[in-house]
């Protein structure tokens, strides 16, 4: 298996440049087309209670600023995309970034985006990676801000016997098949260790049929601590450059509420994480 098209979130913000370089590296690794995408809009809440409070001149100025930012984002992308051997495409629209990226993911196998950051008042130019995971229907690779190259030679799979985890393993196969070391970890209660080992062996056997040599580990929570902390500790011990996991959450009052492991993996910002929902 492989990725034939990779969608990268581009921004005017210079902080997006490492992400674009990483996406270009992956495109060459997988001989994939790289698609750059950017979207931006302004937040009317920054100007008052409603659009009625925004003057025509101010609205025009904001629209012009959005247009200029999209041009800057395109320039950043094209400068990096020159090195992509299979070719590159560019797409940009005024609008909310996560919504636009989710729509454009119809053209891609994998989305590359950045970690969660606090939104400033005014321009909306950042894609919420959690919302993107829940909406896109594609695996989302969330990379640390300064990471320019992904070393996925060692991978930790955070296993939970759910649809989302099974989907994540399938979506990550192009990475897993290339990895030198794969560890499948399940965090469980003490009394569930025997069943967890059986489940993990099934996953390892499945991966083995795809040519992936995977080892397994059970982390019991009898001593306390969060499941996410146990997964991150396993990734540290394995020197894993990538964590693969299912994404869990539900919408409430226009806000996504995530499960504890998903929330902590989205917020950790130290290792690349591939999430599938």
What is the spatial distance between Cα 260 and Cα 4, in angstroms, rounded to a whole number? 32
Of 132, 121, 158, the residue nearest 8 (C-alpha): 132
**Phi, psi dihedrals of residue 164, rounded to the nearest 5°:** -65, -40
125, 173: one domain: no
Please write the tens of the pLDDT for every residue from 139-168: 999 999 999 999 999 999 999 999 999 999
Q: In the chain, how many domains are there?
A: 2
Q: Which domain holds residue 118?
A: 5-142
- Pairing relationship of beta strands 33-42 and 123-124 according to DSSP bridges: antiparallel
Please write the tens of the pLDDT for every residue from 122-147: 557 788 898 899 899 999 999 999 99
DSSP string, 2-37: --SEEEEE--SSGGGHHHHHHHHHHHHHTT-EEEEE
Query: Is residue 256 domain-resident?
Result: yes
- Are residues 240 and 172 in contact, defined by beta-carbon separation less than 8 angstroms? no
56, 124: one domain: yes
Chain centroid offset of residue 132 CA: 8
Please write the tens of the pLDDT for every residue from 254-271: 555 667 788 888 888 899
Please write the tens of the pLDDT for every residue from 5-38: 999 999 999 999 999 999 999 999 999 999 999 9
In CATH, what number is assigned to the domain containing residue 248?
Answer: 3.40.50.620
Query: Is residue 257 domain-resident?
Result: yes
């Amino acid at each position: 298996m492989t990725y034939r098209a990779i969608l990268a979130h581009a921004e005017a913000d210079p902080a997006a440049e490492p992400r674009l370089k990483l996406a270009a590296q992956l495109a060459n690794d997988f001989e994939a087309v790289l698609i750059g995408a950017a979207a931006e809009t302004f937040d009317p809440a920054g100007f008052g209670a409603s659009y009625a409070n925004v003057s025509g001149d101010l609205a025009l100025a904001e629209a012009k600023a959005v247009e200029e930012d999209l041009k800057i984002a395109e320039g950043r992308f094209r400068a990096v995309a020159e090195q992509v051997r299979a070719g590159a495409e560019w797409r940009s629209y005024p609008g909310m970034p996560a919504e636009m990226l989710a729509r454009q993911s119809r053209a891609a196998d994998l989305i590359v985006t950045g970690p969660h950051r606090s939104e400033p008042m005014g321009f909306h130019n950042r894609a919420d990676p959690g919302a993107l995971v829940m909406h896109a229907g594609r695996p989302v690779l969330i990379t640390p801000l300064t990471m320019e190259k992904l070393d996925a030679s060692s991978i930790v799979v955070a296993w939970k016997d759910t649809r989302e985890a099974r989907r994540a393993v399938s979506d990550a196969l192009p990475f897993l098949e290339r990895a030198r070391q794969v560890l499948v970890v399940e965090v469980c209660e003490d009394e569930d260790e025997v069943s967890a080992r059986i489940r993990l062996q099934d996953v390892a056997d499945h991966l083995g049929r795809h040519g992936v040599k995977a080892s397994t580990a059970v982390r019991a929570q009898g001593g306390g601590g969060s499941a996410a902390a146990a997964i991150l500790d396993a990734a540290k011990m394995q020197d894993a450059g990538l964590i693969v996991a299912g994404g869990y959450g539900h919408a409430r009052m226009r806000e996504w509420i995530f499960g504890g492991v998903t929330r902590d993996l989205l917020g950790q910002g130290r290792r690349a994480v591939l999430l599938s929902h």
